[in-house]
């Protein structure tokens, strides 16, 4: 007989049971429910021990269901066979249904009072209410109070209840703990969607006392992050969830897009090239000095030696942007790759003509050749990102704006260039955050495919070292890493280990079999392996056990939908692309004016003049462009541009 | 019932004891030959029922009872027995699940008051526990007294079952049957009800002799005997009865899988004896294992018994451990 609850008091859904073989402990307990119950794996329950209620404050224990068992009073399967006389169809004809049990195992989330810590009382079990969920997850400590710091991460949904779950900003974005790692199989729109949703949540709920916050997202594949400023399709359930979480369902108000050029130097290398959208994509173009600062990124493991390092340092300290005498009578002012190549050629020629040794200023010619090849390599492989002519467009260091997403689209950039972009951008962020002059107090850096940048095995790379550094020290600076990967087990242990908050989407069964998941019960693993889109398992320092939450679809246009609604435009002819670049800077410019100016001019000269305009941003862009074009292409003054020969990967040259 | 009366008698000077005999081992009375009159056939015959369309009642209530007891003290050499009897009716509806419809329980003290010291008598009287008195001739050797106490308790259980069964009849739906674990003929109301069925697992009573007895006890599986009417004896009411073999006995025992069914003494009972038997054959599934009597114990009756045992006060049940002296609290 299942009794009805007294009016006004919730009916218990189960009762804690303990046997010698399955005892209740301070961290785990077992309870049974009716066969038809609303709870399941991941549900949060409350146990009230004797004394709760009229008799005063008793022990209350909150737990999360981690496993479930069902069995009947059947002594052995053979008895079922005997009763059905070997016919499975007859088994269903039994006039009585055997007694069954639904037995659940729950892990303790919190006990009240917390001391003395005791085994869970053998009391009644109730479905957790909104308030219970807050207590169970210790959210009461940071969601309310004078300086609340709760960041909604999703809705805990079980037994017909939808309760908001909050992360603590102090533990998500520093300084107590920081970083977020998200794992899940690809193609289920979970990892990127979750980060997009969470960024929106952070922007809306970032506590005022913590200052300003921005996000820098690296778009490393397809159009994933190319339409964050465009509204996506939401259904009523999504809107209801947004309302419940206190988040406005709208795309990001401020998004700045950056993308390098293609090899032609005028068309942007991004999928956001639809005529309606391409106008707000800033080119990302770097020069020699930007690359030289991060030359280590370009060197592979075999290259790392003190000699190459010393020579690169020599170039940075003594050569770059200075008047430099090569020792053979030539004077150089190295500002571009072309300038640097001129210097290298002068050195090689000088050594050859003078018949001197293979040493130049204590550097062996082989070392010089090695460094030259590596630097030449980057300028060839990342031609649209790195120019021979110095920087012309960069992220707004020192002028980062509050609640703004900066998207750097490197999806179509050579992996070496991706590493370079990532290394330089993050290093610059760290540098500015250390000086407190970035413009915001905290920056979330989102990196997808973390197993590529910080693999658990493989050679030590500059990028991996940098990610380790962020994960270990970033929280003090406000530099927060949000990273995603398909296989967490393949990411460096210290990088994932330092993530204070971890999200899991649907997981691959093989991945779940790796040692990192042994703490999860088989039932939780099965739930993870079959998790629907929009559901996550969350680990957070305040939660003593993983919690399952459901989050609404991000209110932004998904990449796939974005390229359908805003198909990327075909590359423009050179003249048209130049017109567009200049018109972006000065809307008064007429296309014919530009076309007349660049007619019969060498493309390299045009690109160089365009870069100068972008770098200077003059009031009268056309006039400045005309001046730069004229000054650089005059036959008497313009040095003949020497192309940097590409590195032949199968060259017999040992460097 | 709290065990306060036990504490009271111990406080009053009873020597503590803890002895739990086997309980619910079935009826203890082996009866003499009673005889029976043929109803369906003059001479006892057997009928195959396996292919008969079984009766399919919409709902069925199952009645069973349990008894538990333990010696909780001695006044001199007179045992003081703590007895517990309970009965329940579990109803099975269209969803095939059993749910409790009615239940009753009673705690008893069984002893011979005259043999106890005055403080013990006062303590028992003050406790308010129901007291069953043992006859003078049953007191002496504790073994005899304990057997007498067990008989008293069995009578109390049967009375409890009978009372609950009769109460349940009134609530029985028009298409609902009551299946009782045991005889109907002890109760006028039960034996007169057209939809009450008694299923008897123990075969202490003998109704046939010679070839008829052999025919009855060697009944093949899935067969029943002709309907017969046991000769009236004592307070027993008129009832129709037949034997039914649930499982093949060959290789086991003559009584293996053999039940005797009791039903209202009416021509309708004869007409549907095979349908009723076919229904009971269906009740073999699921098996009532791990109960040792599973060959005759219907699962639904086993379920009632399990329910009652789960609600029995823990301190009446035999302790699972050894009877070593207690060393702690």
The DSSP bridge pattern shows strands A359-360 and A28-33 to be unpaired
Mutation target to probe the B interface, by most B beta carbons within 10 A, among A71, A87, A95 is: A95
Q: What is the pLDDT of residues A569-605, one digit of tens each?
A: 888 888 888 888 888 888 888 888 888 888 888 888 8
Sign for the pseudo-dihedral over CA of A63, A64, A66, A69? positive
For residue B108, the model assigns a pLDDT of 95
Burial classification of residue A366, based on how many CB atoms lie within 10 Å of its CB (0-12 exposed, 13-18 middle, 19 or more buried): middle
State how far residue A69 is from chain B, nearest Cα, in angstroms: 20
Closest in B100, B283, B287 to A95, CB measured: B283
Put simply, the answer to whether A83 touches B287 (Cβ < 8 Å) is yes
- Supply the DSSP string of A483-549, one letter for each residue: EEES-GGGB-HHHHHT-SEEEE-S--HHHHTSGGGTTS-HHHHHHHHTPPTTEEEEE-TT-SS-EEE
Q: Where do the domains of chain A lie?
A: 14-148, 174-284+403-565, 285-392, 572-655
B108: which 2 tokens? 């008893």
Assess if residue B325 is contained within a domain.
no
Check residue A628 and give its pLDDT. 84
B26 or A169, greater pLDDT: A169
Residue A301 burial by Cβ neighbours in a 10 Å radius (0-12, 13-18, 19+): exposed
Q: Which of A84, A96, A122 is the mutation pick for testing B, counting most B CBs within 10 A?
A: A96
Higher model confidence: residue A308 or residue A101? Answer: A101
B206, β-bridge pairs: B33
Whole-Å CA distances, A292 to A311, A420, A477, A612, A647 = 11, 10, 25, 20, 18
- Residue B300: list chain A partners with CB under 8 A: 95-96
| Inter-chain residue contact B287 with A93, CB threshold 8 Å | no
Interface of A with B in 96-125 (CB under 8 A): 96-99
Asked if A19 is an interface residue toward chain B (Cβ–Cβ < 8 A), one would say no
Quick one: closest CA in A to B99, which residue? A1
- B84 touching A (Cβ < 8 Å): no
Instruction: Evaluate whether A104 touches A35 at the Cβ level (below 8 Å).
Output: no
Res. A189 pLDDT band, cuts 50 70 90: low
From B97, B284, B290, residue closest to A97, measured CB to CB: B97
Q: Is residue B84 part of a domain?
A: yes
Say whether pLDDT at A6 is over 70: no
Assign residue A479 a region: left if phi > 0, alpha if psi is -120 to 50, beta otherwise?
A: beta
- Give the gap in angstroms from C-alpha A107 to the nearest C-alpha of chain B: 27
Which one, of A392, A454, A455, A398, lies nearest residue A422 by Cα? A454
Contacts of A550 (CB under 8 A, 6+ apart): A154, A155, A156, A157, A241, A534, A535, A536
Q: Which of B89, B289, B294 to mutate to test the interface with A (most CBs of A within 10 A)?
A: B289
Name the residue among A497, A443, A435 with its Cα closest to residue A173.
Answer: A443
d(CA A247, CA A552): 10
pLDDT in tens, A261-320: 888 888 899 999 998 888 889 889 888 877 877 777 766 656 557 788 888 888 888 888
Phi/psi region, residue A524 (left: phi>0; alpha: psi -120 to 50; beta: rest), is: alpha
Q: Mark which residues 100-119 of B lie under 8 Å from A by CB.
A: 100
A162's enclosing H/E stretch is strand A161-168
Residue with tokens 């001695």: B74
Rounded to an integer, the average pLDDT of A170-194 is: 89
B314 touches A at CB < 8 Å: no
Which of chain B's residues have a Cβ under 8 Å away from the Cβ of A93? 282, 285
In DSSP terms, A39 is beta-bridged to none
Q: What is the pLDDT of residue A643?
A: 46
Please check whether residue B170 lies inside any domain of the structure.
yes
HEC secondary structure over chain B: CCCHHHHHHHHCCCEEEEECCCCCCCCCCCCCECCEEECCCCCCCEEECCCCCCCCCCEEEEEEEEEEEEEEEEECCEEEEEEEEEEEEEEECCCCCEEEEEEEEEEEEEECHHHCCHHHHHHHHHHCCEEEECCHHHCCCHHHHHHHHHHHHHHHHHHHHHHHHHHHHHHCCCCEEEEEECCCCCCHHHHHCCCEEEEECCCCCECCCHHHHHHHHCCCCCEEECCEEECCCCCCCCCEEEEEECCCCCCCCCCCCEEEEEECCCHHHHHCHHHHHHHHHHCCCCCCCCCCCCCCCCHHHHHHHHHHHHCCCHHHCCCCCCCCCCCCC
Query: Would you give the DSSP letter of residue A268?
Result: B
A34/B contact by beta carbon, under 8 A: no
Q: What is the pTM of this model?
A: 0.81
Residue B183 lies in a domain: yes
Strand order in the sheet with A180-183: A161-168, A150-158, A547-550, A535-539, A501-504, A180-183, A479-485, A442-447, A213-219, A404-409, A254-259, A281-283
In angstroms, the CA A70 to CA A498 distance is 38
Pairwise CA distance, residues A377 & A646, whole Å: 6
Say if the ipTM goes beyond 0.90.
no
A96 contacts B96? CB cut-off 8 A: yes
Query: Does residue B91 form part of some domain?
Result: yes
pLDDT tens figures, A339-364: 888 888 888 888 888 776 788 888 88
Tell me whether strands B59-75 and B15-19 are parallel, antiparallel or unpaired: antiparallel
Mutation target among B222, B248, B286 for the A interface, most CBs of A within 10 A: B286
Neighbours of B83 (CB within 10 A): 26
Helix axes B118-127, B4-11, angle to 10 degrees: 160
Contact B300 A82 (CB under 8 A): no
Task: Tell whether B289 is within 8 A of chain A (Cβ).
Answer: yes
Nearest residue to A114 via CA among A87, A75, A140, A82: A140
DSSP state at residue A281: E
Q: Any idea what the Cα angle at residue A394 is, between residues A392 and A400, rounded to 5°? A: 145
Asked whether A578 and A266 are in contact (CB, 8 A), the reply is yes
Structure tokens at B117: 């010291």
Residues of A in contact with B285 (CB under 8 A): 83-84, 90-91, 93-95
Can you give the pLDDT at residue A636?
39
Residue A583 CA: distances (Å) to CA of A577, A578, A593: 10, 8, 11
Give the residue ranges of chain B where pLDDT is below 70: 1-3, 18-32, 233-235, 318-329
pLDDT, residue B328, reads: 53
Strands A479-485 and A180-183: parallel
Q: Identify which of A1, A82, A95 has the shortest CB distance to residue B99.
A: A1
Angle (CA) A409 A415 A419, round 5° = 75
- Can you give B25-90 as a three-state secondary structure string? CCCCCCCCECCEEECCCCCCCEEECCCCCCCCCCEEEEEEEEEEEEEEEEECCEEEEEEEEEEEEE
- pLDDT, tens digit, for every residue of A629-638? 874 444 434 3
Residues of chain A with Cβ-Cβ distance to B246 below 8 Å are none
The H or E element spanning position A172 is helix A169-172
Is there a contact between B286 and A96 if contact means CB atoms under 8 Å apart?
A: yes
| pLDDT for the residue A265 | 83
Please report residues of A whose CB lies closer than 8 A to that of B99: 1
Cβ contact, residue pair B285, A93, below 8 Å: yes
- H or E element, residue A164: strand A161-168
Query: CA-based angle B190:B192:B193, to the nearest 5?
Result: 70
Contact criterion met (CB < 8 Å) for B283 and A90: no
Contact in structure between B167 and B89 (CB atoms under 8 Å): no
- Inter-chain contact B289–A95, Cβ cutoff 8 Å? no
Q: What is the pLDDT of residue A646?
A: 45
Total domain count for chain B? 1
Residue of B nearest to A74 (CA): B289
B246: in domain: yes
With an 8 Å Cβ cutoff, are B98 and A96 in contact?
A: yes
**Residues with Cβ within 8 Å of residue B181, at least 6 apart in sequence:** B62, B63, B64, B65, B161, B199, B201, B298, B301, B304, B305
Domain enclosing residue B85, as ranges: 4-316
CA–CA separation, A31 and A105 (whole Å) = 7
Q: Quick: pLDDT tens for B197-238.
A: 999 999 888 899 999 999 999 999 999 999 999 987 666 788
| Interface touch A95/B97, C-beta < 8 Å | no
Q: How much is the pLDDT for A90? A: 84
Fold entry, domain A174-284+403-565:
Rossmann fold (3.40.50)
- Is A83 close to B99, i.e. CB distance below 8 A? no
Distance between CA atoms of B242 and A119, rounded to whole angstroms? 56
Question: Checking DSSP bridges between strand B176-181 and strand B59-75, what pairing results, if any?
Answer: parallel
B126: left (phi over 0), alpha (psi -120 to 50) or beta: alpha
Give phi and psi for B71, each to the nearest 5: -80, 120
pLDDT higher than 90, residue A453: no
């Amino acid at each position: 007989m299942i009794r009805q609850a007294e009016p006004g008091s919730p009916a218990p859904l189960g009762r804690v049971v303990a046997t010698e073989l399955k005892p209740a402990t301070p961290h785990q307990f077992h309870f049974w429910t009716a066969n038809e119950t609303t709870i399941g794996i991941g549900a949060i329950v409350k146990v009230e021990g004797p004394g709760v209620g009229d008799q005063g404050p008793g022990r209350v224990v909150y737990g999360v269901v981690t496993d479930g068992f069902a069995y009947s009073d059947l002594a052995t399967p053979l008895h079922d066979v005997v009763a059905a006389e070997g016919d499975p169809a007859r088994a269903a004809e039994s006039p009585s249904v055997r007694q069954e049990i639904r037995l659940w195992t729950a892990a303790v989330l919190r006990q009240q009072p917390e001391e003395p810590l005791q085994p869970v009382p053998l009391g009644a079990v109730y479905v957790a209410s909104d308030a219970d969920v807050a207590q169970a997850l210790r959210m009461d400590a940071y969601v309310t109070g004078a300086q609340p710091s709760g960041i909604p991460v999703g809705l805990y949904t079980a037994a017909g209840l939808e309760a908001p779950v909050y992360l603590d900003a102090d533990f998500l974005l520093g300084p107590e703990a920081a970083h977020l790692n998200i794992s899940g199989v690809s193609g289920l729109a979970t990892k990127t969607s979750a980060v997009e949703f969470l960024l929106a949540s952070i922007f809306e709920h970032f506590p005022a006392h913590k200052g300003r916050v921005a996000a820098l997202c690296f778009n490393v594949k397809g159009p994933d992050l190319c339409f964050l400023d465009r509204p996506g399709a939401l259904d009523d359930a999504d809107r209801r969830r947004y309302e419940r979480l206190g988040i406005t369902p709208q795309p990001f108000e401020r998004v700045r897009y950056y993308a390098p050029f293609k090899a032609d130097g005028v068309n942007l290398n991004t999928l956001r090239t639809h005529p309606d959208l391409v106008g707000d994509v800033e080119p990302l173009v770097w020069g020699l000095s930007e690359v030289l600062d991060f030359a280590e990124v370009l060197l592979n493991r075999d290259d790392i030696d003190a000699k190459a390092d010393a020579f690169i340092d020599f170039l940075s300290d003594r050569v770059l942007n200075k008047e430099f005498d090569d020792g053979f009578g030539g004077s150089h002012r190295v500002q571009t790759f072309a300038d640097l190549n001129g210097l290298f050629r002068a050195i090689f020629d000088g050594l050859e003509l003078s018949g001197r040794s293979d040493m130049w200023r204590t550097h062996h010619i082989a070392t010089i050749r090695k460094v030259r090849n590596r630097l030449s390599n980057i300028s060839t492989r990342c031609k649209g990102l790195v120019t021979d002519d110095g920087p012309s467009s960069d992220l707004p260091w020192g002028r980062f704006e509050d609640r703004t997403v900066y998207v750097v689209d490197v999806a179509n950039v050579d992996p070496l260039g991706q590493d370079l972009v990532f290394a330089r951008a993050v290093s610059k962020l760290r540098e500015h955050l250390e000086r407190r002059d970035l413009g915001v107090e905290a920056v979330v850096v989102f990196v997808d495919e973390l197993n590529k940048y910080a693999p658990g095995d493989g050679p030590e790379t500059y990028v991996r070292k940098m990610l380790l550094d962020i994960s270990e020290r970033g929280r003090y600076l406000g530099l927060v890493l949000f990273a995603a990967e398909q296989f967490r087990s393949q990411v460096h242990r210290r990088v994932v280990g330092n993530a204070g908050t971890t999200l899991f989407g649907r997981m691959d069964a093989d991945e779940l079999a790796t040692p990192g998941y042994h703490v999860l019960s088989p039932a939780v693993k099965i739930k993870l392996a079959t998790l629907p889109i929009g559901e996550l398992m969350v680990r957070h320092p305040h939660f003593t056990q993983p919690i399952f939450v459901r989050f609404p679809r991000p209110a932004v246009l998904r990449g796939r939908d974005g390229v359908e609604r805003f198909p990327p435009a075909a590359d423009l002819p050179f003249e048209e692309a130049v017109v567009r670049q200049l018109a972006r800077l000065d809307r008064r410019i007429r296309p014919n004016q530009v076309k007349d100016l660049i007619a019969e001019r060498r493309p390299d000269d045009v690109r160089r003049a365009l870069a100068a305009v972008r770098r200077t941003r003059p009031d009268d862009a056309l006039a400045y462009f005309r001046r730069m074009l004229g000054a650089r292409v005059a036959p008497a003054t313009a040095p003949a541009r020497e192309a940097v020969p590409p590195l032949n990967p199968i060259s017999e040259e040992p460097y | 019932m709290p065990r306060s009366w036990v504490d009271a008698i111990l406080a009053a000077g009873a020597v503590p004891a803890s002895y739990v005999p086997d309980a619910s081992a079935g009826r203890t009375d082996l009866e003499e030959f009673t005889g029976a009159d043929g109803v369906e056939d003059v001479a006892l015959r057997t009928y195959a029922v396996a292919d008969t369309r079984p009766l399919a009642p919409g709902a069925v209530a199952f009645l069973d009872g349990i008894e538990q007891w333990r010696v909780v003290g001695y006044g001199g050499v007179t045992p003081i027995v703590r007895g517990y009897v309970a009965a329940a009716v579990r109803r099975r509806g269209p969803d095939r699940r059993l749910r409790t419809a009615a239940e009753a329980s009673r705690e008893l003290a069984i002893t011979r008051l005259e043999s106890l010291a005055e403080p013990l008598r006062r303590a028992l009287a003050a406790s308010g526990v129901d007291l069953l008195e043992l006859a003078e001739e049953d007191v002496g050797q504790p073994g005899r007294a304990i057997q007498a106490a067990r008989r008293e308790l069995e009578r109390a259980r049967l009375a409890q079952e009978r009372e609950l069964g009769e109460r349940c009849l009134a609530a029985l739906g028009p298409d609902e049957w009551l299946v009782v674990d045991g005889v109907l003929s002890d109760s006028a109301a039960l034996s007169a009800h057209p939809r009450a069925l008694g299923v008897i697992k123990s075969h202490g009573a003998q109704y046939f002799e010679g070839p008829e007895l052999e025919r009855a006890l060697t009944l093949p599986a899935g067969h029943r005997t002709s309907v017969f009417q046991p000769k009236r004896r004592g307070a027993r009411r008129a009832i129709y009865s037949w034997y039914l073999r649930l499982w093949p006995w060959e290789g086991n025992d003559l009584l293996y899988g053999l039940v005797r069914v009791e039903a209202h003494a009416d021509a309708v009972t004869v007409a549907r004896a095979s349908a009723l038997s076919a229904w009971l054959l269906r009740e073999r599934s699921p098996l009532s294992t791990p109960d040792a009597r599973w060959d005759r114990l219907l699962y639904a009756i086993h379920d009632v018994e399990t329910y009652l045992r789960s609600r029995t006060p823990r301190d009446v049940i035999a302790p699972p451990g050894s009877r070593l002296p207690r060393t702690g609290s």
